[in-house]
Structure 1
């Protein structure tokens, strides 16, 4: 048989039926999940009217709605290429899917490697500090960012500020000088900084008022530890779980690439 005919037959041969539907099913789940995330992100941005007032966004990389849009959009595209490409046996879509997934895998490995190398050089700490500073400065200006930092301080890390409650002085509402303009929150902290009292069902939203004023009682009933140190402590305590999660993510992506290669063999 001529070599050209053999080559043509290899190029037009169907992929394994089992692997085809395995690749299709896994990417449909990914695609639908991404569609949900993307829809939530777009809805959140539309509620804030950000599509017409993008100038209101001060720190776009930290906006939860924007992060959901980017994450959902990239994952949606990836799931679409994988599911439709596998179902239709479209070599162009499958090739694009494999290339896209490989680029993501390489980028993630590079990110983890850089994070490991720079973990003791202060770069990651500086980035986290700048992000928290932006959150604090614009706390009252974006509901999503406000809810996120409240969750970090109250539910996740049980902390307050970057290095401590004094960092809330950089917010116009909580700055002690705002007493002159009538801010009731002046020289205070958000309610998420307060420690929950025993048997307290509903937290008092005014529990952080005046806690940074001179002469306030020593027991302020707020978290005195900063979120930066609390985050470092959390990462050290859960380092093994974080490592397992990262490895599982990389293995899952490698498995998708190997499945694609098996389909084409």
Structure 2
């Protein structure tokens, strides 16, 4: 939770000290510091729900945390995969896999 709070505070600090002027809504959504704040907030909420659920032995809160972890593993988010290959599942990527049939110029390179 400390790491997520530091992400939120660093993102907020950078947003307030930035000299760019926001012209439209897309500037807000494409700003990396806004993304850092959002990711930090989501991590904080999930960690807080997990801590509270474990502390109070609340089954419903623990099921919510299990649902988040299941989605992370199911979608392969953040380098997490359920296969034995782990991070090597980039071989399944059509642009980066290292096979002779791949015509991409990024073949056999690191994404």
2: CA distance between counterparts of 1:69 and 1:115? Answer: 32
Partner of 1:38: 8
Partner of 1:53: 22
Cα distance, 1:41–1:115 mapped onto 2, change above 3 Å:
farther
1:4-83 pair list within 5 angstroms: 31-48=1-18, 53=22, 55=24, 57=27, 60=30, 63-83=31-51
Uncovered stretches (5+) of structure 1, i.e. residues with no partner: 1-30, 126-231, 237-265
- TM-score scaled by length of structure 1: 0.29
Bigger RCO of structures 1 and 2 (CA < 8 A, at least 6 apart): 1
2: CA distance between counterparts of 1:42 and 1:58? Answer: 13
RMSD (Å), alpha carbons: 3.3
1:139-150 pair list within 5 angstroms: none
Uncovered stretches (5+) of structure 2, i.e. residues with no partner: none
- TM-score scaled by length of structure 2: 0.62
Deviation per CA, 1:156-183: give whole Å up to 9, x if none.
xxxxxxxxxxxxxxxxxxxxxxxxxxxx
Runs of 4+ in structure 1 deviating by more than 4 angstroms, as ranges, are: 112-115
Equivalent pairs counted in the alignment come to 92
Give the CA deviation at 1:41.
1.2
